[in-house]
Structure 1
Amino acid sequence: MNNFQLRTVNVTRYVTPLREGGSMPAIAEADDDFLYVLKFRGAGQGPRALIAELIGGEVARILGLRIPELVFAQLDEAFGRTEPDEEIQDLLKASVGLNLALHYLSGAITFDPTVTTVDPKLASQIVWLDCFLTNMDRTCRNTNMLVWHKELWLIDHGASLYFHHSWQNWEEQATRPFFLVKDHVLLPWASELEEVDQEFRAILNGEKINAIIDLIPDVWLEGETNFPTKEAHRKAYAYFLETRLNHSQIFLKEAQHAREILI
């Protein structure tokens, strides 16, 4: 069970960029001698993508899904001065301080739905999770899942909670269906959504949601003009998730409807 704490590591070596999407993550080594996929707060979407990554990843973990360990990753001011690539050097300079990283699963392969079939229960769990988080990024084009030691691992939740990029009508969005579920790579197998909804609603609650929200570092909440205080900002995330949980039938019915059309 999640103890609602993340380790903090110091990044010691930039290994190689992962040129996928616009965020330019990288494989990096830390002072615990492990390799991590490092997500930079200085990347295009800034701290909001890290907040979505943190919330999405830890919700997934609480619900019993496999996700690489998340850690806070401290980037020193001197780090990257020898980096010859100017674009990467700019990214490193903009990301000095606290970033987020996922444990690197060495030897993992990208999930391919044409090669690997997924158990209906697991597929339903992941579809439920992504509807809950409004995660638009689990499609055939980009599954954001890895197969590691013959088990399915979830990565990259930075595209979740997309309402927080503008905070427009965010209270209303908490109770909206997730229409993009129609493109979810696992939807064809997700035949146990009702059972999963009951199970996950019994696991997830306001106390656990708030404990995850409390993990968000203050520095990631700076510069947000939609809220008078960081506490109000945190409460908005908690309100959104608790409201969404209490109205799960709305996104559940949309997922079932989309699946009926699909199959």
Structure 2
Amino acid sequence: MICLLMTGVEDKRSVYEINGNKITKRIRFLGVRFSSFNLRIDFYRSVFLVQPGPVPRHAPKRVKSTLKLDQMDHISNEWTDTDVLIFNSGHWWTRTKLFEMGCYFQVGGSLKLGMPTTTAFKAALNTWASWVDTSINTNRTSVFFRTFEASHWSGRNRNSCKVSRHPSLDTKGKDRSSISDTIIDVVKKTAAPVTVLHVTPMGAFRGDAHVGSWSDNPSVPDCSHWCLPGVPDMWNEILFSYLLSKNGTYLQ
């Protein structure tokens, strides 16, 4: 989004990260100010949305950390005083990024060692929905939730990545995602108005658009993330269309 907006800025020096940090997805927080337009875009890295926690007392040795499914990430305190909030989650809700790393689920003081990731994800989203309903003034703040983007891993263990040369004509079932279905289901039940940016189907055709072997580590192909410019730019175009429509601006 920042790159897209930069195309409309004449003096590139007027755009800067407020703490002087380099713009990278690995940092916990980035604040990019467009000083000529009185605009600031903040990025918060909270991949689970809920609060990570330490190992509880008397936990089994395999438990190295927890996710507190009934508590929002503490960084959410920074999100309430804003004009637009855009959420997404799901990419890290896998066994490899959780259980194999020793991270298990917790509700209150109770460990939920046998809880499936799908159940935990829905519990976390319900915590998020409750937070939106009670903490966000939707008369001021527009809230969006982007669904899970399609990935194009293949093979029995979904560990093979072969980037195609062209967009496909068949989604091969990748236009559906249980994660996206959960997001849509939870958002439908929120009292606050939340707009779902449902991007799963549109990316399903674009097996050609992933990073592949052009990643930071070419020996490990990537069929989850996207090349830029590319598919994520269209997500931003869709978002902008919603914002312009809400503000009463006629779309050309």
TM-score norm. by structure 2 comes to 0.28
Instruction: Please tell me whether Structure 1 or Structure 2 has the larger radius of gyration of its CA atoms.
Output: 2
Structure with the larger RCO, 1 or 2 (CA within 8 Å, 6+ apart): 1
* Structure with more of its chain in strand, by fraction: 2
TM-score norm. by structure 1 comes to 0.27
* Structure with more of its chain in helix, by fraction: 1
